[in-house]
Each structure stands twice: as C-alpha cells, then as structure tokens.
Amino acid sequence: MHPILLIVFLPLLAAIVAGLVNKSAPSIFAKSITTGALFVSAALSWPIFLGFVGGTYEPTVVPVLKWVQSGTLTFDWALRVDTLTAVMLVVINTVSALVHLYSWGYMEEDPDQPRFFAYLSLFTFAMLMLVTADNLVQMFFGWEGVGLASYLLIGFWFKKPSANAAAIKAFVVNRVGDLGFMLGIFGTYLVFDTVSISEILAAAPGMSGASIGFLGYTVYTMDVLCILLFIGAMGKSAQLGLHTWLPDAMEGPTPVSALIHAATMVTAGVFMVVRLSPMFETAPIALGLVTFVGAATCIFAATVGTTQWDIKRVIAYSTCSQLGYMFFAAGVGAYGAAMFHLFTHAFFKALLFLGAGSVIHAMHHEQDMRYYGNLRKHIPLTFWAMMMGTLAITGVGVYHLGVGFAGFWSKDAIIEVAFARGTELGNFAFWMGVFAALLTSFYSWRLMFLTFWGKPRWIESEHIQHSVHKTPEEAGEDTTGGYHPHESPISMLVPLGVLSIGAVLAGQIFAPTFLDDAAFWGSSIFYNEPLIHAMHAVPYWVKYSALVVMLIGLLVAWLAYIKDTSIPGKTAEQLGPIYRFLYNKWYFDELYHYLFVVPAFWLGRQFWKLGDVGTIDRFGPNGVAWVVEKGAVGARKFQTGYLYSYALVMLLGLVAAITWVLF
C-alpha cells in the first residue's frame, strides 16, 4: 500500500472515530486518536519530501476509486504525488500535528474537546484532499471541505455571538470567491474537454493567444479562465477585496488560528495558482492582476497591522500581508519562490500564533497588548520562541555572510525576483514589498516590546484581576497586583520548540533546493530559470534593502515603545484621520456593510413583507385556505346524524340530476 493513502485517510478516520465517540468516552481517547494519526501522517510525509529533495522519489498517481463517467466527462478519485504535493504534505501534517499536541494544553478546560479534535482532523483531511487532487473537481471537493471545517472551527464556541458571526462571515465571503473558482472550472472543462490537471497543463501552451466570446466581447481565453480561478484564490487566501473574513476568524480558539492562517486554508489559493502555473503563464493579463492584487494586499495588511492592539489580530494581518508576497511572487513568474515563502512562513507564523496563544493562556485570556508588559521574566520560554518567530518574519540575515532566519531567505528572494522581473508591475511589487518589510518589522517589534518589555500593565486590566482567584498561592509576586503570569504546560511548549527550529533553519537548509534546483521541481510547476539567474544578479542595494528597512522598523518601534512611550499617542493624535483610517481597516467592513449587507436586508424585508405576507399569506392561508375553512364550517351543518336529513338531500340530488339530464 502506498504511504500516501495512510497520510490522507488517517486524519479522516481519526475525525470519524473522535466525532462518533464524542463524550461517551474520556476526552483523552479522542485527543490520543486524532493526535496520534496526525503524527503518523507527518512522519510518513517527510520521507516523501526528502526523497524529492534527494532526487530519489519519482512523481506518481495513486488511484483510489472510479468516480464519474458521464459522456465526455470522466475522472477518477486519485492522489497525485509530486514535488509540489510533497511540500504541502510536510507543511500541512507537521503544523497540524503540532497544533493537535498544543491543543492538549490550550483546550484542557473545554468540555467539548472531542468535538474540537474531530474538527481539527477533518480540516486536515480536507486540505490533504485539496493538495493531492489529480483533477479540478477533486480539488474543489477539498476546497469546499476546508471551507466547511473552517466554519465549524471558527464558530466552535457557538454560544458566543461574535464567534457565530465570524464563522458566517468567513463562509459567505468565501462563497463569493468560490463562485469565481467554479466558473473557472466550468470554463476550463469547456475549453479543454477534461478536468484532469495533467492533461490541462499539457494542453495549456497550445491555447496561448486563443480568444473566446465572453459577455459580448472577444477576450483571450486563458486570461478569462485564469482570472476566474484567481478570484477563487482571492477568497480562500484573503486577498484585498475578499480579505475581510480573515481578521474576524480570530474568534475561534488560538490553535485554530494557527492551523488556518499558517499552513492550510489561507495557503490553498497560493497552491492552486502554483499548481496551475503553466496555465497562468499563457495568461499575461491574469498574471498582471495576480501581481497587482498581491502587492496591494501586502501593503494594505501591513498598514493595518501597525495600529491593532489585539495580539492575534496583529498576527492575522501579518498573515494577510505575507500571502500578498506569495501572490506577487507567483505573478512575476517565480513560483518556486512563492512556494518557498509558503514553506518557511508555515513554521514562523504557526510559531507566532501558538506563541501568542501561550501569552493569552498566561494572561488569563486577555488579548489586548496594552495590558501586557514585562512578560519575558515570567514566561521566558514563550518569550524566546516568539523572539525566534519575530526574527524570522522580519527577515533578519546578512547576504554576504550567508546566514539568516527563515524569512530572510524566502521573503528577500521574492523582493529580489520582483526587481529582477524588470516590468512596471514587477517594480511596483518590489517597492510595495520593501515598504511592507519596513512595516512588518515595525509591527512585529511593536508586538514584542508591548508584550515582553516595559512595566507590567496587567494590573490595569479589570478582566484579568476580576477573573482570577487571588489566593496567596496563586497570587505569586505581589508586585504584579495580585496576579502572576505563568508559563504554559509542556504540551504547549514542545510545539513551540519544534517550530522555533523550523523558523531558524528552514530557510538556511532548503533555500538552494527551492530557489535554484529546477530538477527538484520537475514538471510540478513552471520553473523560470532565466528569472532565477536574474534574481541572483540584482544590485547589492536591492539585496540589502529588506535588511535596511528591517533595522529602521526595529529602531522606530524601540523609540516609540521603549525609549519614549508617549510617542504613539502623540503620533495618533497628530495623524488623526489617517490613524483612524488605518485602525478601522480602511473602512472595508463599513463599506461592505452599506454596499451589500444593508441592501440585502432591505431586499429580504421586501420579499418578507410584500412576497410572503402580502402575496402568499394573503392568497394562501388568508385567501383560498380561508374560503375552504368557511366552506367546511357551512358544510358541517348538513352533518346532522338524522336519517331523514340524508334522505332529503339524496332526493334533492336525484331530482337535480334527472332535471339536468332531461333539460
């Protein structure tokens, strides 16, 4: 049996068992089954990935079962294993296994742990189905599966109204993107007469320059198809315009945030674009759109992240920004660099989210950074883990020394390749990427300084002080105002340690393979070798631009949050409208509320008042049904129970019938 079958279906089996058993067995049963299954899947995934790195593993397709045969539409359920799949397997299963283990400590007091772990494993299975898909329909199955599972996980605490609202928002916004994805799949089948990914990619170069009638215009076929597919990616990967669900998804438990935002759901759009890269290479307009949207998302999310106070929301907008980097890398044709950043980002972003969860756990579920401060002395292991994540995301490294954290190797490569592309959109993406790197450094170090340095400010948090038992044993040091932050349990710290290793070494070890080894990628993506050579030949000022702006961001954050803490308040007051614009997330939520939500509610009220009450009820229950009811009341009077009454009626009926026949 091929190991890919176990890798994919073990999480599904674990989810079914945990879900069916639920509370009928101790919660440790569900936790053990699901976590064990994910660690087995992760352990089986790494040899496949390392086999492709070493050149000893050949791409293969493992059939599962016959699926659809309808006219010319024929496809099976099969698992595609190539380099691109192998990269996603280690990312998904490694992060998911660590999130499962982390959840043992984080969700320890929750009474619904079996349900939570079942949802986690179901989510992982759906994502694995997506990345192993051999045809577009199977990919769409996984695509919708992660949408369903994310709805369940974001709204896991369903008694919390904000969690329900966030889950619905994520589901609805993703449906908008999914409409584009479905139309793209329909159009692709119409053009290629197949949904097989390998057949489509083989035929795609021959469609370059072909045109088709669309909405009354003659347009390039491949551009239309790729733009529709990219709309699906925009929804799933929270790109500008369809990004509004992602920050609200923080309403779910922190392990969910790490799983959704680090390695799985939000990277599905990037994976899909890279998987179909030979198609996108025949669609220059679509690639230009990918580049522009990615660069715009990159800078938008970074600007918003500089003003947020909720520790998880800062990291969520950071995710949105980093996804922008991945997309504009794909847009300029550097698909390997996009996947490399996806790979490294999974480690340091999962680390940052789980580290934030450890902070929240220590601070009794307080998420406002204004009530943190000086925590490095109380939770030192969490502090060093988040320090590794911050050094990775800000891209600390020195080119000439050949050393750096994970983000240095992947993010800097994207910035360099955008410059090397030499087009107007490439230059736009380059400058947006550099500016976003400055903002990334600022908000990342701002988070670190507010959380781990300065005076302890949790004494000012009524939430913390009123929600803990201030017994002498639990109070700890009295200098903290009656509450002493505590380090997380070992089940939460072990994942932080493992992810810290990835944040430090993943870029250093795998940069030559992901960026320069065309044989590693094989035919799994479109590999633009001349562009990669041009990337290595960019001027030194380009190579050092990200490092310089990182140091500037660090310096500004240090001045504002360590040296003189009055600077942020003064700056916010001076900037006024600009600060409010950024703090309110460019008013996208308010804009969508008035453009879509208010008209939708108005339309719903019209259907309700005029359609349901004014028409259906009026002519239904209050019309025809009323006549029938009154008629029945009248007819009931004839039911006297006396024989002579019935005989009279029969006689009258007989006379009427004879009269009708005669006359």
DSSP result, 211-252: EEEETTEEEEHHHHHHHHHHHHHHHHTT-TTS-THHHHGGGS
- The single-letter code of the amino acid at 658 is I
Contact (Cβ atoms closer than 8 angstroms) between residue 127 and residue 268: yes
Q: How would you class 186 by CB atoms within 10 Å of its CB: exposed for 0-12, middle for 13-18, buried for 19 or more?
A: middle
pLDDT at residue 464, rounded to an integer? 54
pLDDT at residue 474, rounded to an integer? 42
Q: For the chain, give me the number of helices (H) and strands (E)?
A: 31, 6
Question: Closest Cα partner for 506 from 344, 331, 309, 340?
Answer: 344
Helix (H, G, I), strand (E, B) or coil at 290: helix
- How far apart, in whole angstroms, are the C-alpha atoms of residue 14 and residue 653? 73
Low-confidence ranges of the chain (pLDDT < 70): 262-263, 459-483
Reading the block at residue 442, the tokens are: 């600022």
Contact (Cβ atoms closer than 8 angstroms) between residue 442 and residue 347: no
Contact (Cβ atoms closer than 8 angstroms) between residue 439 and residue 306: yes
Contact (Cβ atoms closer than 8 angstroms) between residue 392 and residue 344: yes
φ/ψ of 79, rounded to 5, equals -105, 120
- How far apart, in whole angstroms, are the C-alpha atoms of residue 136 and residue 182? 10
Q: Position of tokens 């944040």?
A: 503
- How far apart, in whole angstroms, are the C-alpha atoms of residue 251 and residue 449? 24
Beta strands in 49-120 (DSSP E): 60-70, 73-81
DSSP β-bridge partners for residue 81: 60
Element (H, E) at 349: helix 335-362
Element (H, E) at 404: strand 403-404
Helix (H, G, I), strand (E, B) or coil at 516: helix
Question: Closest Cα partner for 318 from 440, 413, 203?
Answer: 440
Neighbours of 544 (CB within 10 A): 14
pLDDT at residue 650, rounded to an integer? 87
Element (H, E) at 113: helix 113-131
Q: For the chain, give percent helix, strand, coil, nearest 5.
A: 75, 5, 20
* 310: DSSP letter: B
Mention every residue, 6+ apart, whose C-beta is less than 8 A from residue 47.
Answer: 3
Q: Are strands 211-214 and 217-220 parallel, antiparallel or unpaired?
A: antiparallel
- How far apart, in whole angstroms, are the C-alpha atoms of residue 459 and residue 332? 50
Q: How would you class 491 by CB atoms within 10 Å of its CB: exposed for 0-12, middle for 13-18, buried for 19 or more?
A: middle
Question: Closest Cα partner for 524 from 266, 278, 185, 241?
Answer: 278
φ/ψ of 304, rounded to 5, equals -70, -40
pLDDT at residue 504, rounded to an integer? 94
How far is Cα of residue 160 from the mean position of the Cα atoms in its chain?
Answer: 21
CA angle 387, 254, 507 (to 5 degrees): 40
- How far apart, in whole angstroms, are the C-alpha atoms of residue 478 and residue 112? 35
pLDDT at residue 461, rounded to an integer? 59
Reading the block at residue 593, the tokens are: 């509320």
How far is Cα of residue 320 from the mean position of the Cα atoms in its chain?
Answer: 9
pLDDT at residue 624, rounded to an integer? 78
Mention every residue, 6+ apart, whose C-beta is less than 8 A from residue 305.
Answer: 314, 317, 318, 321, 439, 440, 443
Contact (Cβ atoms closer than 8 angstroms) between residue 550 and residue 437: yes
- The single-letter code of the amino acid at 617 is D
Q: Position of tokens 């969690």?
A: 163
Helix (H, G, I), strand (E, B) or coil at 330: helix
- How far apart, in whole angstroms, are the C-alpha atoms of residue 255 and residue 157? 13
- Taking each helix axis from N to C terminus, what angle separates 406-421 and 380-393, rounded to the nearest 10 degrees? 20
